[in-house]
Structure 1
């Protein structure tokens, strides 16, 4: 009788374990919220909003009219890739 029982349990295991796991999960979920209490709604800023605020704070003390020219920026690029077709400076 036991081999027949184990064969049936092995065959129908998903149909038995899913409802049991669902009930255990639901009870645990509600028990956790009962112990914690109701959460207070708090306003959290998104990552994008925090980044924008940080960049604005960094720009506060700087003069936005003083920018690095594009020619100066090209000097920091790798010579092998971008200076290949450009004539050498004398």
Structure 2
């Protein structure tokens, strides 16, 4: 007779466990919220917003029409890795 009871409990257990776990979880969630109180969210800016503000502050005093030419930027770039083994032409 015991094997029949265990088989019945084994089949019914998933149908009982989920609602019980759901109720326990909901009660725990609301109890924790009640104990902690309402959280006061901090008005924190994202990293992207902070970066954009910093860049704008850096650009504030500069003249945006005066830019470095492309030739000056490329002057200090290393030669391409694929061209290192080719002979130099004089």
Following superposition, the deviation at residue 21 of structure 1 comes to 1.2
Query: What TM-score do you get using the length of structure 2 for normalisation?
Result: 0.62
Separation (CA, whole Å) in 1 of partners of 2:52 and 2:46: 10
Q: CA RMSD in A?
A: 3.2
List runs of 5+ in structure 1 lacking aligned partners.
none
What's the counterpart of residue 80 of structure 2? 79
Query: What TM-score do you get using the length of structure 1 for normalisation?
Result: 0.62
What's the counterpart of residue 30 of structure 2? 30
Residues 59 and 14 (structure 1 numbering): CA distance in 2 closer, same or farther, change over 3 Å? farther
List runs of 5+ in structure 2 lacking aligned partners.
none
Following superposition, the deviation at residue 14 of structure 1 comes to 2.6
User: How many residue pairs align between the two structures?
Assistant: 86
Structure with the greater alpha carbon radius of gyration: 2
